[in-house]
Amino acid sequence: MEYRNLGRTGLQVSELCLGTMQFGWTATEEQSYPILNAAYQAGINFFDTADIYSRWVQGNPGGVAETILGNWMKKFNIPRHQVILATKVRGRMGDGPNDEGLSRAHIMQAVDASLRRLDTDYIDIYQTHWFDENTPIEESLSTLTDLVHQGKVRYIGCSNYPAWRLMEALWVSQSKHLARYDSLQPHFNLVHRAEFERELAEVCQSYQLGVIPYSPLAGGFLTGKYRKDHTPESSRQGGASKYFSEQNWALLEKMDSIGKDRGWHSMSQVALAWLLSDPLITSPIIGPRSLDQLQDNLGAAGLRLLPDEKESLDEYSDWRKFNI
């Protein structure tokens, strides 16, 4: 497993990040442990979670994924200094008026709750899950700065920010001498490029933010399980169906061809290699629900596309060409 620097920080993170949204949702705690162990043994040292995972599941109060991650480290004696823990704050975690958002009151309450669930005394990367239009950015950043000074948080990052809000945050940090966002977690993959590439990519490059894309396999669409002549009925009720288009079917065929030519035999690995071949990308977040899925994803570690392969996939998935 290779390691990459997280933006301008000194953190060295594995080139694949293990996401935990599935833990407590599509994978039980008992099913999660083998996945976590196998990932760690393979060299993954970067784990991403959030306080709201997975509050949308009936009977799940939120914080379950964080708890599973904390329990795993304790149960299997994982040295804390050997892992990079990233979690998030913003979503609703209760019924009170201050149980969500990026106010000082909510952040202070949320970080202590996350620390308890993770069973640790510091968070490596504390990320604002999405922006809060009801709270001044200066209040949020000054609170996060206090957490850095207190030692509860090492670095801060953000997720799901449009470019203008990210630039506003960077300007406030610089002008007010506050901690700044050192990473961005965008929705970015071969069939969802425009949101990141229009403006955010240039911001991240210019200001040296680490880029940690989520949904690198587009909800399973880029794994090859869906094809023009084979689309499981259940898929039409899920998120993958929005990618069903002639240009994307052609993209899948091209990915399949590249994978076979290189002897990888996995379209998932081609999709991950496309991200890893971009020097701007730090660590795509994978979310395997089983050991088989994990082993397939791990096969992308160290893989890079040849220049002509990268250019070909860029062309097949060019949002400027297809207006997507």
Q: Is the pLDDT of residue 59 over 90?
A: no
How distant is the alpha carbon of residue 183 from its chain centre? 11
Average pLDDT over residues 260-288: 95
Q: Is the pLDDT of residue 263 over 90?
A: no
Q: Which of 282, 283, 278, 284 is closest to 307 using CA atoms? A: 278
* H or E element at residue 88: strand 84-89
CA distance 138 to 321: 39
Q: Is the pLDDT of residue 323 over 70?
A: no
> Quick one: pLDDT at residue 231?
72
Q: Is the pLDDT of residue 239 over 90?
A: no
- Catalytic residue from among 53, 126, 161, 226: 53
Question: Is 53 noted as a catalytic residue in this protein?
Answer: yes
For the beta carbon of residue 130, count every other beta carbon within 10 angstroms. Answer: 17
∠ Cα 251 254 259 (to 5°): 125
User: Taking all residues of the chain, what is their mean pLDDT, rounded to a whole number?
Assistant: 95
Average pLDDT over residues 65-74: 98
Contact 281, 213 (CB under 8 A): yes
Average pLDDT over residues 143-152: 98
Contact 298, 41 (CB under 8 A): no
Q: What is the DSSP letter of 214?
A: B
Write down the domain spans for the chain: 3-185
Q: Where are the beta strands (DSSP E) in 110-219?
A: 123-128, 153-159, 181-185, 210-211
Length of the chain: 324
Give me the residues paired with residue 181 across strands. Answer: 156
Q: Is the pLDDT of residue 235 over 50?
A: no
Q: How confident is the model at residue 232 (pLDDT cuts 50, 70, 90)?
A: low
The predicted model scores a pTM of 0.95
Q: Which of 123, 64, 69, 130 is closest to 100 using CA atoms? A: 130
From residue 1, alpha-carbon distances to 7, 15, 276, 290, 298 in Å are 19, 7, 12, 20, 9
Give me the residues paired with residue 322 across strands. Answer: none
> Quick one: pLDDT at residue 129?
98
Q: How confident is the model at residue 236 (pLDDT cuts 50, 70, 90)?
A: very low
CA distance 11 to 1: 15
Contact 150, 176 (CB under 8 A): no
For 162-178, how does the pLDDT look when each residue is reduced to its tens digit (9 = 90+)? 999 999 999 999 999 99
pLDDT > 90 fraction of the chain, expressed in percent and rounded: 90
Contact 146, 155 (CB under 8 A): no
> Quick one: pLDDT at residue 128?
98
Average pLDDT over residues 7-16: 97
| Higher pLDDT among residues 129 and 54, named by residue | 129
CA distance 143 to 126: 12
∠ Cα 81 84 85 (to 5°): 115
Q: Is the pLDDT of residue 270 over 90?
A: yes
CATH 1.10.287.610 at 3-185, yes or no: no
